[in-house]
């Protein structure tokens, strides 16, 4: 049998036309669509799943990380609105550090859909991005496939919020992926939730092992990594020696409480071994299977070894693999580790953060340079609008963790609060560039910053 099958040419119907097309209804995509629609632009949002939220909902990634800036100021106005709505329905909470990012993923999916619809966004669920429609380096739209077959969606501006820069990649835009030299990406994870936990009993158990700190749900947190001498390490070692766990199950274990769900815990594990190009279908399929096997091991382990878990049950596992880093576009500016660690500021900044360098699974070199001593109020770095503008393709913006950065530079702003800000900035920029009759590349990012600041972003 031939190694290549030729597909006959065929005509693809145009099923939608839009001013702004957002591909991916996740952490960055929903704010992007809302921001564009609120500026009066006909906006279409394409999502491959049956609900919005991506990493935060399908991936069960909760809570949002504290940005490590005093007071945890909001990175964007839309981020503040999302949290306010979750608080109104008791599906979010604010801890003693000021982190308002504790939330219930199930409620979040409903809140995001309501906000998008209220803004006038046209959502197309269960539709997979197939290819980009590019002409002379200018993107005109995309081809999707769903139960209705293949269809084209045309737009004047396209925002790639796929997380893996799928649209930019299909357009031929330059990109990087993984560690310099070997291309190995950060490890992936497959999160899960358990219910029926006796928290009082479990917290007393942790205290008996020596864990200190706040342990009052929903602001509950515990973790274990080999060699850190954390409270749970002897229990994990005992389980490995008894054959109830594998050694790798202790490479990274983390658990959080969930607002509005008494007796429930969200787990940021198991962590799956890293490889080069985690977008490969064979890697993703293997990681999902391997991750589910590890979840079953961990569930049985906790029910056997953790006091308070005797009657606990597995609620559900994540519907998508948790990818920390894959393709990163090469944009008009490439954010670096130096920018992060020296608190670099930009006139066209569209987000601020002081979240630390966070590379899983490997020691990294950040380069040799002096870390400045700055006042507490200046201890943050900024991400410029230019990091959302890919080289080589016009009328395309990229929002989310695939923004333009080097390997270490991506590891800090990849967290959800920053990605929401990237999405809002991209939506504003797409609409504003149309209003001004210019390409997004020619747009002065200071104008985007001003609009975001007026809407409540900490800028």
- List, for residues 317-362, the tens digit of each pLDDT value: 999 999 999 999 999 999 999 999 999 999 999 999 999 988 987 7
CATH number at residue 66: 3.50.50.60
- Cα–chain center distance at 38: 23
Give the per-residue pLDDT at 364. 75
Residues 169 and 31 reside in one and the same domain: yes
Instruction: For 176-200, write each residue's pLDDT tens digit.
Output: 999 999 999 999 999 999 999 999 9
Q: For 87-91, what is the mean pLDDT? A: 95
Contacts of 11 (CB under 8 A, 6+ apart): none
Residues 231 and 128 reside in one and the same domain: no
Q: Is residue 378 part of a domain?
A: yes
Residues 44 and 177 reside in one and the same domain: yes
Give the per-residue pLDDT at 5. 86
Residues 259 and 347 reside in one and the same domain: no
Q: Is residue 2 part of a domain?
A: no
Residues 264 and 387 reside in one and the same domain: no
Residues 206 and 347 reside in one and the same domain: no
Range scoring the smallest mean pLDDT among 131-140, 360-369, 417-426, 430-439: 360-369
Owning domain of residue 292: 188-317
Q: Is residue 421 part of a domain?
A: yes
Q: Is residue 5 part of a domain?
A: no
Q: In the structure, what pLDDT confidence band is assigned to residue 158 with cuts at 50, 70 and 90?
A: very high
Domain ends where: 317, 345, 372?
317
Record the tokens describing residue 70, joined without a space. Answer: 């005093």
Domain count for the chain, please give it: 2
pLDDT at 1 over 60: no
Q: In the structure, what pLDDT confidence band is assigned to residue 2 with cuts at 50, 70 and 90?
A: low
Give the per-residue pLDDT at 8. 79
What gap in Å lies between CA 207 and CA 234, rounded to an integer? 14
Residues 281 and 393 reside in one and the same domain: no
Contact 92, 14 (CB under 8 A): no
Q: For 381-397, what is the mean pLDDT? A: 98
Give the per-residue pLDDT at 172. 97
Work out the angle at residue 332's Cα, subtended by the Cα atoms of residues 45 and 336, and round it to the nearest 5 degrees. Answer: 100
Give the per-residue pLDDT at 259. 96
Q: Which of 208, 211, 209 is nearest to 220 (CA)?
A: 211
Give the per-residue pLDDT at 249. 97
Q: Is residue 3 part of a domain?
A: no
Range scoring the smallest mean pLDDT among 163-172, 219-228, 363-372: 363-372
Residues 262 and 346 reside in one and the same domain: no
Q: For 229-255, what is the mean pLDDT? A: 97
Residues 286 and 399 reside in one and the same domain: no
Residues 200 and 295 reside in one and the same domain: yes
Record the tokens describing residue 68, joined without a space. Answer: 């490590």
Q: Is residue 177 part of a domain?
A: yes
Q: Is residue 66 part of a domain?
A: yes
Residues 289 and 368 reside in one and the same domain: no
Q: Which of 445, 458, 420 is nearest to 32 (CA)?
A: 420
């Amino acid at each position: 049998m031939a190694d290549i099958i030729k597909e006959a040419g065929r005509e693809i119907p145009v099923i939608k036309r839009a001013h702004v097309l957002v591909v991916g209804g996740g952490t960055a995509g929903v704010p992007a669509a809302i921001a564009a629609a609120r500026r009066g632009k006909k906006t279409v949002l394409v999502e491959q799943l049956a609900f919005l939220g991506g990493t935060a909902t399908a991936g069960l990634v909760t809570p949002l990380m504290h940005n490590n800036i005093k007071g945890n100021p909001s990175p964007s106005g839309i981020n503040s609105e999302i949290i306010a709505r979750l608080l109104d329905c008791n599906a979010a909470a604010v801890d003693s550090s000021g982190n308002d990012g504790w939330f219930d993923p199930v409620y979040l999916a409903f809140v995001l859909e309501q906000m998008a619809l209220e803004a006038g966004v046209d959502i197309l669920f269960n539709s997979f991005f197939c290819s980009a429609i590019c002409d002379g380096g200018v993107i005109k739209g995309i081809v999707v496939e769903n139960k209705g077959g293949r269809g084209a969606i045309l737009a004047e501006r396209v925002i790639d919020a796929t997380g893996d820069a799928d649209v930019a990649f299909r357009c031929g835009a330059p990109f990087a992926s993984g560690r310099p030299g070997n291309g190995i990406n950060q490890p992936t994870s497959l999160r899960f939730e358990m219910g029926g936990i006796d928290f009082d009993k479990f917290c007393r158990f942790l205290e008996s092992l020596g864990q200190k700190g706040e342990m009052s749900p929903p602001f509950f947190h515990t973790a274990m990594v080999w060699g850190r001498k954390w409270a749970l390490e002897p229990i994990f070692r005992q389980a490995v020696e008894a054959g109830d766990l594998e050694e790798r199950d202790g490479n990274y274990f983390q658990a959080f409480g969930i607002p509005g769900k008494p007796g429930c815990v969200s787990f940021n594990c198991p962590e799956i071994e890293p490889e080069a190009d985690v977008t490969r279908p064979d890697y993703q399929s293997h990681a999902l299977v391997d991750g589910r096997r590890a979840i079953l091991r961990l569930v049985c382990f906790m029910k056997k070894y953790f006091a308070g878990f005797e009657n606990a049950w597995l609620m559900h596992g994540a519907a998508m693999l948790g990818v920390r880093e894959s393709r990163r576009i090469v944009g008009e500016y490439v954010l670096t580790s130096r920018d992060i660690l020296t608190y670099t500021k930009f006139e066209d900044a569209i987000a601020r953060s002081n979240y630390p360098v966070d590379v899983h699974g490997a020691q990294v070199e950040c380069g040799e340079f002096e870390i400045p001593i700055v006042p507490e109020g200046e201890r943050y770095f900024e991400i410029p609008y230019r990091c959302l503008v890919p080289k080589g393709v016009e009328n395309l913006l990229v929002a989310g963790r695939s923004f333009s950065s080097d390997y270490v530079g991506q590891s800090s702003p990849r967290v959800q609060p920053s990605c929401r800000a990237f999405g809002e900035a991209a939506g504003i920029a797409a609409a504003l560039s149309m209003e001004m009759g210019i390409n997004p590349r020619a747009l002065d990012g200071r104008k985007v910053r001003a609009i975001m600041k007026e809407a409540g972003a900490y800028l």
